[in-house]
Amino acid sequence: MFRMPESRPYHHGDLRAALLTAAERTLRDRGAGALSLRELAREVGVSHAAPGRHFKDKQALLDALALAGYERLSAALESADDPALPLEARLSGLAKTYVGFAVEHAALLEVMFARKHDPEVSTQLADAVDRSVGSFERLITDAQARGEIVAGDPARLTFFAGAIMHGLATFAANGSIPADQVLADLDEHVHHLLHGLKPR
C-alpha cells in the first residue's frame, strides 16, 4: 500500500530542549513507561527520525533527564544555602529545598536515582551527583572547622546526613507521609540529626 512521506519537518529551533521538556511532562503525567521517542517527535512536531540526532534511544533520553534534574537540584541547593546562618538553620534550609524538589519532581527524582544508566554517561552522572550534594558537604566542612560537628571524612558524614534527608524526601514524594507533614517536621528531624536521640 502506497504511503505518503511523513510531512513533519526534520529540523527544529532547539529540538533537544523541546524533547526534554516534552519528556519531562510525559514523565510527570504518565510515568517513564510512557516515554517514546516517536511519540515525543509527534508531540513537538518533527519527523520520527529527528530525535535520533540527540538521543540514540530511550535510555539516552532518560540519562539526559537525570542530568538535567541534577543540574536543577544543584542550582536550587546552591541558591538556598546561606553560610551566614547558624548550623541548624542552614541545614534545615537545605533539607527543605531538597524535600521540596523531591515533591515537585517526584517522577524525575526516580529517574535521577535509577540504577540503570548508559556506561558512557555514568561519569557525567557521578559528577552531577557530587555537585548536587556539594552544598551539604560544604556545610559539614564549615561546621567541622568551627567545632560544631565531629571530625571525620566530610564526604562520609554528608552521606549519613544525606541518607536521612533522601529517605524523608522519598516518603514525601511517594505519598507514604504527607509532604506538608514532612516539611513541617523537618526542623525537628534536623535537630535530632545534629544532636542525636540520647537524653541531654
Number of domains composing the chain: 1
Say whether pLDDT at 1 is over 60. Answer: no
pLDDT-above-70 percentage for the chain:
94
CATH of the domain at 74: 1.10.357.10
Question: What is the domain extent for residue 80?
Answer: 56-195
Which tens digits make up the pLDDT trace of 82-115? 999 999 999 999 999 999 999 999 999 999 988 7
Contact (Cβ atoms closer than 8 angstroms) between residue 138 and residue 81: yes
Does some domain include residue 38?
Answer: no
Average pLDDT of the residues of the chain? 88
pLDDT tens digits, residue range 126-146?
A: 888 888 888 999 999 999 999
Residue with cell 536515582: 113
Looking up cell 543540574 gives: 71
Residue 154 amino acid letter? P
